[in-house]
Structure 1
Amino acid sequence: MITIAGAGLAGLASAYELCRRGVAVDLFDLGDAPGSNSVARFAGGMLAPWCERESAEEDVITLGASAADWWAQVTPVTRNGTLVLASPRDRVELARFARRTTGHHSVTKTEISAMEPAFMGQFEQGLFFTDEAHLDPRRALADLAAKVQDLGGTIHFATTAPDRVDLDCTGMAAKLPDLRPVRGEMAILQCPEVEITRTIRLLHPRMPLYLVPRGDGIYMIGGTMIESSSNRPPSLRSVSELLNAAYTLHPAFAEASVMELGAGLRPTFPDNLPRLIQHEGRLHLNGLYRHGFLLAPAMASKAADLLLSEVPDEHHRQRATA
């Protein structure tokens, strides 16, 4: 039996990897439902390793390149690529983004209009990352929890973890050395007048924006990265910037309904990369930062490898089936 503290993204992904290998797993989480206590519920759900290379290390591509295939075994994944755009005055930002990334090709105004008719004639040029994808984070967390339970894992919701566990995936609650919070804010809009089918990144020197379609005229927008430990709701400034950026993408967003505003503290190490580390007698998987859904599969696999190399066979036999 392997025990895991935290049934958020990292804990569930690790449990799934262990259960797939025939291991009995118990998870403990303070939340009352999958993802209810996890910062991942505020994520964009972008599986975009080549775009993320613009501000991240090469490891993000290495670890995240197969994430879409991993998630497709768990939950619906939309593989429509990522379209990166900039207003004419920010064209230099588009050139800089192109220099810092790979896996893309340039698209013209005509091509952009054909890909996303909502932008007909609006943007002169852009970058298209063909192999990128996105998913719905909250559905993915629920589907992942269901997979773990289908494979024999047990999730104890609204339950404090025992003092001794094999793997700690509790995010900022872990209080690891060098771990710091980076605040992210988001809004969910309903705008049936606009039909956008793929992840859009709008470049801006002050606050780049991403927009992720959820279907049925619902969109998630985000982009803030604030060095802060405050878990209060989004500030008026952040909300204004997000909504103004959405309006820049398409004027119809001015009439959108704001369905939800949210903010979460993303656990982050100094190099912005996740770690598997031993601390005070526990193995920790932490520091997924803004790359949670992208990097969780590879890190969960590494966690399972490490746990199974250290735990004697009699402690991780498959739970007997009826």
Structure 2
Amino acid sequence: MPESVQSQLPVLVLGAGLMGRLLALSLAQAGHPVRLVDAGQPDGSGAAAWVAAAMLAPLAESAITEPSVVAMGQYALTRWPQLIKGLTRPVYFQRNGTLIVWHRQDAPEAQRFSGLLAQTGRALPELPKPRTLDGRGLAELEPTLAQRFHQGLYLPEEGQLDNRQLLAALVDSLAARGISIEWNTALTLEQAQDIQSDQGGWVLDCRGLGARADWQAPQALRGVRGEVVRLHAPDVTLQRPTRLLHPRYPIYIAPKENHVFVIGATEIESDDMSPASVRSTLELLSAAYAVHPGFGEGRILELCAHCRPTLPDNLPAVHEVAPRVLQVNGLYRHGFMISPAMLDAVLEWMQQGSTELAEQLQLRFTTLAATPA
């Protein structure tokens, strides 16, 4: 069996994005000496998690992903409050469900989406069931939408959190334990393993696309570009993440605190990190205005673009590439939704030499042998 985390073996974590921060803090809380390095800047804008909407919507996402990701997302809904509770700063978190709406001319798209939800429900019968809404039901949930939409779907128990509050709270909580992130520090996996050879312990590679040159699994990493708009819209009072179904311009609107909204949905097969395009911005803003005219008087806070680290099947993976060397990657667009499950699966392997949780959630987790060397 491997030495447990309680034995306080040192851990070198590459990448201070969402996964890197979560793992570093969990290991530090267990008394582990942790070193966390990142090639980017202290503002965190180099991480895909900085741009994300941070929606926790496993059933809604089931329209585009596999049951394993849905199961990990359902796991996260109860795990996130536990993780947030131990942080030094508050983090906005809610579970008001997800609202799905569509215009009358897009009813076929709604039928297709409903069929996909039904398939997920048969594969994962423990999931909450969607609720069909008529005009009255829609008005009870989101009164301001009732005049523009006459039907919808409500997906109960789904949630969201504030990604930037969480990233800042993780850094603050690490600092409270005497661990600072070494920014502007680029280490290759080979260099990290050289450090491991001298100091022992573990190496956890959580660099996202930064790990592309060192990714040792057969499946290559690629970037999938996403673009989002952050708005301040005082006239909009949406209480829960809302998705507009459309055959060409499907969007999500994630309300944060103080009438700030994150609007997005673009999926572009590109690792281009340039600013958001005019076309995508126009499509996102036009679709948002179609959901609620109050967005027309809102103020654009940011136009953001980033690339999510993605494997060919769009599913995440953990690979042990050498004794006590793990690569954690491929979170795609589901980072906040699946990271608690990946966190706990990695910790279970480090502590117990077990992949039981990974197997239960069908997370791809490959190891060199039954237990680490």
Fold in common (TM above 0.5): yes
Residue 115 (structure 1) aligned with residue 158 (structure 2): no
TM, length-normalised to structure 2: 0.79
SS across alignment from 1:26:
strand
Aligned partner of 2:66 among 46, 52, 57 = 57
Q: How far 1:153 sits from its partner (Å)?
A: 4.3
**CA distance 1:247–1:232, shift in 2 (3 Å):** same
Output the CA distance in 2 between the equivalents of 1:68 and 1:15.
21
> Does 2:80 match 1:71?
yes
- Any conservation in 2 of the 1:8–1:34 contact (CA below 8 Å)? no
User: Is the aligned partner of 1:244 residue 2:273?
Assistant: no
Shift of 1:283: 1.8
Deviations 1:87-142 (A, max 9, x none): 11111211221221143111111111121121132211111111100111111111
Tell me the distance in 2 between the aligned counterparts of 1:238 and 1:147. Answer: 36
Q: Confirm or deny that 1:216 pairs with 2:264.
A: no
Q: How far off its partner does 1:309 sit? A: 5.0
- Looking at structure 1, the residues matched to 208 and 165 of structure 2 have their Cα atoms a distance apart, in angstroms, of 20
Query: Between Structure 1 and Structure 2, how many residues are aligned?
Result: 310
**Aligned amino acid, residue 134 of structure 1:** Q
Q: Match of 1:82?
A: 98
**Residue 132 of structure 2 aligns with which residue?**
106
What SS is found at the alignment partner of 2:94? coil
Counterpart among 32, 36, 39 of residue 30 in structure 1: 39
1:18 equivalent in structure 2: 27
Please name the residue that 1:286 is paired with. 329
Matched, 1:262 2:304: yes
Contact 1:34–1:141 (8 Å) recurs in 2: no
1:104–1:129 Cα contact (<8 Å) kept: yes
TM-fit CA distance, 1:280:
7.5
Q: How much does 1:36 deviate?
A: 3.0
After TM superposition, the score normalised by the length of structure 1 is: 0.90
SS in structure 1 opposite 2:271?
coil
Question: What is residue 164 of structure 1 aligned with on the other side?
Answer: 192
Deviation at 1:154, TM superposition (A): 4.2
Name 2:365's counterpart in structure 1: none
* Match of residue 318 from structure 1: none
Q: Which residue of 2 aligns with 1:91?
A: 107
Query: More displaced, 249-258 or 207-216?
Result: 249-258
Q: Partners of 1:205 and 1:142 in 2: how far apart? A: 36
- The answer to whether residue 59 in structure 2 is matched with residue 39 in structure 1 is no
Contact 2:99 2:154 in 1 (8 A): yes
Determine which structure has the larger helix proportion and give its number.
2
SS at match of 1:96: helix
Matched AA of 1:69? T
Aligned mates of 2:130, 2:29 — CA distance in 1: 34
Name the CA distance, whole Å, in 1 between partners of 2:294 and 2:40. Answer: 37
Cα distance in structure 2, aligned partners of 1:218 and 1:274: 30
- Write the letter of the residue equivalent to 1:84: I
Q: Where do 5+ consecutive residues of structure 2 fail to align? A: 1-9, 85-90, 122-128, 194-202, 354-373
Checking the alignment, whether the CA contact within 8 Å between 1:172 and 1:267 is kept in structure 2 is: yes
Code of the residue aligned with 1:114 in structure 2: it is E
3-state SS, counterpart of residue 41 of structure 2: coil
Amino acid at match of 1:170: R
SS in 2 for 1:289: coil
Q: Work out the percentage of aligned pairs sharing the same amino acid.
A: 38
The root-mean-square deviation of aligned C-alpha atoms, in Å, is 1.9
* CA deviation after TM superposition for structure 1 residue 37, in Å: 2.1
Bigger RCO (CA 8 Å, 6+ sep): 1
Tell me what 1:128 maps to. Answer: 154
The residue number in structure 2 matching 1:143 is 169
Q: Return the alpha-carbon distance in structure 1 between the equivalents of residues 134 and 178 of structure 2.
A: 51
Structure 1 stretches of 5 or more lacking a match?
311-322
Amino acid at match of 1:188: R
- In 2, distance between residues paired with 1:32 and 1:157? 6
**More displaced stretch, 174-183 vs 160-169:** 160-169
Cα distance between partner residues in 1 of 2:172 and 2:116: 38
Paired with 2:130 and 2:54, the residues of 1 have a C-alpha distance of: 20
For residues 94 and 288 of structure 2, the distance between their equivalents in structure 1, rounded to whole angstroms, comes to 21
Q: Distance in 2 between matches of 1:173 and 1:280?
A: 19
Question: Structure 1 residue 147: deviation in Å?
Answer: 3.0
Q: What is the letter of the counterpart of residue 49 of structure 2?
A: A
- The runs of at least 4 aligned residues of structure 1 exceeding 4 Å deviation read 151-154, 279-282
Please say if residues 81 and 130 of structure 1, whose CA atoms lie closer than 8 Å, have aligned partners that are also in contact: yes
After superposition, the C-alpha distances for 1:257-281 in whole angstroms (9 at most, x for unaligned) are 1110010010101111111124478
